[in-house]
Structure 1
Amino acid sequence: MAEKLNAILKSYVADGTATKDKLLGAAFVVVSKDGPIYQGSAGRTSLDPASAAFTPSSIAWTASLSKLITTLTLIRLVEQNQISLDEDVRPRVPELAQLPILRGFATAATHPNKEEGEPILEPNTAPITLRHLLVHTAGLGLDIADPDLLRWSQWIGRTARADNSTVEGWSTPFMFAPGEGWYYGTGPDWAGQVLERVTGRRLSEYMNEHILRPLGTGGTGFYIYKLVGEEGKRDDRYVSMTERDGQTGQLQELPVPFPVDPPCESGGAGLYTNGADYGRVLQELLRALAGDEGAVVKEATAEEMFRPQLNDKQREWQRRIVWAFGSGAEIPEGSLVDFGIGGMLNMEDIEGKRKKGSMMWSGFCNGRWWIDPQTGIAGVMFVSLFPYSDPTAVELYDKLERAVYAELIPNWQASK
């Protein structure tokens, strides 16, 4: 079965300089609670045809794949009784408490005493909880991808942006009162700030102590130069980010659009990692769900992460957003979905693929992961490519997952 997955990977990567509708490289890892079932890769790490081979240990910026690791880190904080999921965090993070709610923009008809286009802001009086931040029900958006937040920023002359990795960049109005809907944004970044205010430590310090070091994931961290060296001296594990030209389909290299030395550590998008490390994280969640002794989170906590968290109104918001945004690209549009603590849940079996109750998410660079508790497996595809939801990457992920369920899992189950 490894040969089938290897062949699929190889068929999607560039041969030489011809990169049209191809990827430079990709890794794919499938795990059970007991360890890897499959680890494979194909391609290379940069446009140079002579560059190092892309392997499961190749390291790249992971963007929103950071969110699951940050979520596990905050869950450990909760398990240590330093904070609860449902405590109002506004007293701990005053900057978050000061954010208003954006109710729209003035027109002559609706607000004759205001200037045309002026943002309509009102104070937020609702509690903000860690659960809100991790499940994306706080109402926080992402200014670089949201027309209303961009319009608000322009109106006030704001230059800070979320991808600056600063508190100022994350400080945007709520799109609704916390808890009233579902909106994808900077909640996990603020969750990292909650941890820092509670512990008095950097997010990376706590994450290393409680998640990364116990799992042996030494290729994961917020600072690329600590992992692979300074720019110009980086080792062969470093993967260059590429961008597909919308007209030609060819790839070109793109600088990582994130600070090399971020002012604040972004729990939502700041990590660098590799396929093997990420597979180890997914394995640990399967261990926790199985009640294995020594897992980094408890069985009951892991079960809560996989419990659907949304009410009807929040689900309506979610379903309007996820397929338009691309986060649901690997499941049929209109499928029943919800959100857990750490990722989206599909609430029905997907034919030929994952079972009901599986958790998933993806990142700006087209990496995608899923955890299927019913089947007892999880997988991650690791690539480094923009723009998000690249059709070639989405198609590769679909073929890999279908091969896993058609052949890898039956063979694995038969061998147990």
Structure 2
Amino acid sequence: MSFDEIWAVPDAAVASGRIPGYVAAVRVRGHVEIHAAGRTAIEAGSPPMRTNTLFRIASVTKPIGGVLTLSLVEDGVIALDDEVARWAPELASPRVLRAADGPLDDTVPAVRPVTVRHLLTLTSGWGVGLESSPLITAMMERGVFASPMGHTIGADEFIARVGQLPLVFQPGEGWRYETSMNLLGIVLERATGRTLSELLAERVFGPLGLADTAFAAVDPARMAAAYRPGDDGALELTDPPDGRFARPPGFEQLSGGLVSTAGDILRFCNAIADGELLSDASRAAFSADALTPQQRATASDAFLPPGASWGLGTGVITETGAWGWTGGTGTTASVDPSHDTVAVLLTQRAMAGPDDSPEDFYGAVEAAAQRPLS
């Protein structure tokens, strides 16, 4: 089976200068290939992309965090309906805004406690939105708004600052992106007395042999530079290979802090697709739609467009059963059981809008799955 028509999609982006380079890893009906093209930076003479080039995978971290959480649930360390205040008193007795765009002091008490399930499904009431509001302004001022480059404050300071902010809706009655997963990571650390690095090494990375995945580059010499498109479309450097991800972060973020390779992400996705790590029931719950219609209705289409929803730590496509997620740094991974495909694409171009969607890449993977074997 030839994957040339798949590679042609990101190859065109390299040729046009839209991205400096990429590494992609695809499995179609059991056939696997990892392909690298372009360079690790925009400067002439920069090293070429290689299959083991390291990328900041941003929110592709979230499904890995979901699997870690379910592993701990299976072993009875935590339960999905445990109240998080047991380990995080900063999150006890939160206040809730009367109106999402209202002043921060116009609140009512929460009618129920926040649980592990609320954090994992992003339905706690803490999270980011794209609108302007006093709450969003306060999150930015306090340094707890979402950032693919991570946060400079420590975990205890992060959870304290978030806990002082009101919820945008009652726990379990809406959906809000990002922040809950970072709170969840801190809760897991406190519940186990171990760091996320230790937990992931024991429960995910070690069993799967993911030697290149960590919260900092295992070999900064293999890191690609990170860019964002400027107002004129030209790429602007946001993090050099020896930058923020070349050393341990302020705290390990479950929402988007990992560095990895296309091969490692493919191995992780294959493992869940093939029945490794978790029980059948946990894997089914992980990739099933976990949102009620009410919760889904509050989500911005920018995060969950029509036909998409959220499971236990991962995005899901309700019609096909596909699952996976896309990171703001230009990374994406998806498992589509309806076509027997697993696809990973890692680039250095930050997501800046709909034009940066990976849908063309996934369309090429789906087309390859529909061709007869040769």
Q: TM-score, normalised by structure 2?
A: 0.87
Offset at residue 164 of structure 1 (A):
3.2
2:346 aligned to 354, 376, 382, which one? Answer: 382
Change (3 A) 1:25 1:201: same
Q: Where do 1:181-192 residues align within 5 Å?
A: 181-192=174-185
Aligned pairs for 1:323-402 within 5 A: 323=301, 325=302, 327-328=303-304, 335-348=306-319, 356-389=320-353, 391=355, 393-394=356-357, 397-402=358-363
Gaps spanning 5+ residues in structure 2: where?
none
The aligned counterpart of 1:231 is none
Answer with 205-214 or 2-11: which moved more.
2-11
Count matched residues. 361
User: CA 1:376–1:262 in 2, change beyond 3 Å: closer, same or farther?
Assistant: same
Larger radius of gyration: 1
Contact 1:105/1:119 (<8 A) preserved: no
Residue 265 of structure 1 deviates from its aligned partner by 1.0
* Distance in 1 separating the partners of 2:36 and 2:21: 7
Structure 2 counterpart of 1:300: 281
- Once the two structures are superposed, residues 220-256 of structure 1 have per-residue CA deviations (whole angstroms, 9 ceiling, x without a partner) of 10123xx11xxxxx31x21100121222x22121127
Aligned position for 1:410: 371
Return the offset for 1:282. 0.6
Residue equivalent to 1:263 = 250
Unpaired runs of at least 5, structure 1: 108-116, 229-233, 289-294, 349-355
**RMSD over aligned Cα atoms:** 2.7
Percent sequence identity is 26
For residue 108 of structure 2, the aligned residue among 118, 122, 127 is 122
Matched, 1:180 2:166: no
Q: Deviations over 1:355-382 (max 9, x none)?
A: x121132111121222112232221211
Q: Which moved more, 1:73-82 or 1:339-348?
A: 339-348
Summarize deviations over 1:117-176 as a string: whole Å, max 9, x none.
Answer: 56323333412222211111111113898643233358xx74565533534335143111
Question: Residue 60 in 1 paired to residue 55 in 2?
Answer: yes
TM-score between the two structures when normalised by the length of structure 1: 0.79
Indicate how the Cα distance of structure 1 residues 386 and 9 shifts in structure 2: closer, same or farther if over 3 A, else same: closer
Q: 1:112 matched to which residue of 2?
A: none
Taking the TM superposition and a 5 Å limit, the aligned residue runs for 1:2-401 are 2-14=3-15, 19=17, 22-31=18-27, 37-97=32-92, 99-104=94-99, 119-142=105-128, 147-153=133-139, 158=142, 163-164=151-152, 166-170=155-159, 171=162, 172-224=165-217, 227-228=218-219, 234-235=220-221, 237-247=222-232, 249-255=233-239, 260-288=247-275, 295-318=276-299, 321=300, 323=301, 325=302, 327-328=303-304, 335-348=306-319, 356-389=320-353, 391=355, 393-394=356-357, 397-401=358-362
Between the two structures, name the one with larger relative contact order (CA 8 Å, sep ≥ 6). 2
- The residue type paired with residue 338 of structure 1 is S
In structure 2, how many angstroms separate the alpha carbons of the residues matched to 1:105 and 1:304?
Answer: 30
